Amino acid sequence: MKRKIALVTGGYTGESVISLKSAAVVEKTIDRDLYDVYKILIYRGDWHFLTVSGEKIPVDLNDFSITIGDDKITFDGVFNILHGSPGEDGKLAGYFDMIGIPYTTCDQLSSAITMNKGYTKAVIDDIEELHIAKSIQLFENSAANLKLVEDGLTLPLFIKPNNGGSSIGMSKVKTWGELPEALEKAFAEDSQVLVEEFVSGREFSIGCYRGKGEITVLPATEIVSSKEFFDYESKYVAGVTEEITPGRQSEEEVTRVNRIIPQIYTKLNCKGAIRVDYFLQHETGKFYFIEVNTVPGQTETSLISQQVKAIGMDVRDFYTQLIEEMF
């Protein structure tokens, strides 16, 4: 008998657009010989399933079920492709934990920690061979914090909303005069902002997942952007960025990265597939951690999809492994 899988998408942030694109790919790729898939759209105060005829079926939040005609449908598990809140920050995970439904992504605590760039760095700071750029985490936009940054850090700087994704609200600051506007832009997206010193290096993004009980590190993708940094436009506008999979790394670099990534995965108690962004510093070749994404995009051209194909695996089989790992 086929398992019933809820594919959750949508969300409460600007990333919902990307989530819907990811969900469309997952929906058509999942092995239908193994699973019956129901796409559940989650918005504030509006969780629903759309029938083929366009009828909106509300989700019963008591047990995360839907009723179509006389049939009540409950789910064996959840394929979570909801980027941002509530799918990536632990809120949805906590809900599923309470009602006892397994899901493909990190648990509530790991999701909440990894969504916060500053807290993530604090947890993984002692991993050997992993380096972290000097930074300051701000909780309000004030004159005192402006001075704190100027006194404590060296230009150029990256300004990032601490809990955001898809590089929304992110800026690179080269002069102190640019700092107030950059902080304002970041605080418009989040109540916490991370200010960190710029690391000059080659940028990479690498997937890692647990399937068949083992952690697998995928080939890294090298990010070569015509923009100053890998911002929202670089990620989602065709032609702005060149993505090379596998990335151009020496044998020693590949071996070292493949030592570091499983430690990040384990230390953060990750589940399912994650994507880690990092720099290899120009002068030293040192590994500088940027961030971890615990609900990575699954569009046709997404980095994870490229990397799965690079090891000769069918994306459908990859999804099957993620689903089966829940049970």
Number of residues assigned to the chain = 327
- Rounded to whole angstroms, the Cα distance separating 19 from 268 reads 23
Residue of 22, 302, 305, 325 marked catalytic:
302
Residue 13 phi, psi (nearest 5): -120, 180
Residue of 15, 88, 203, 325 marked catalytic:
15
166 catalytic per annotation: yes
Which residue from 206, 222, 221, 203 is spatially nearest to 273, judged by alpha carbons? 206
CA angle 212, 271, 9 (to 5 degrees): 110
Cβ atoms of 77 and 104 closer than 8 Å: yes
CA dist 85 → 6, 47, 113 (Å)? 17, 14, 13
- Rounded to whole angstroms, the Cα distance separating 40 from 80 reads 10
135 catalytic per annotation: no
293 marked as binding residue: yes
- Rounded to whole angstroms, the Cα distance separating 144 from 147 reads 5
Cβ atoms of 8 and 87 closer than 8 Å: yes
Strand pairing report for 171-173 and 201-211: unpaired
15 catalytic per annotation: yes
Terminal C-alpha separation, the chain: 15
Residue of 16, 111, 166, 205 marked catalytic:
166
**Which alpha helices (DSSP H) does 45-160 contain, by range?**
91-99, 108-115, 117-124, 143-152
Residues ≥6 apart with Cβ < 8 Å to 285: 253
277 marked as binding residue: yes
| 3-state DSSP helix/strand/coil % of the chain, to nearest 5 | 30, 30, 40
- Rounded to whole angstroms, the Cα distance separating 305 from 267 reads 24
Active site residues: 15, 166, 302
Residues belonging to the binding site for Mg(2+) are: 277, 291, 293
The annotated binding site is made up of 277, 291, 293
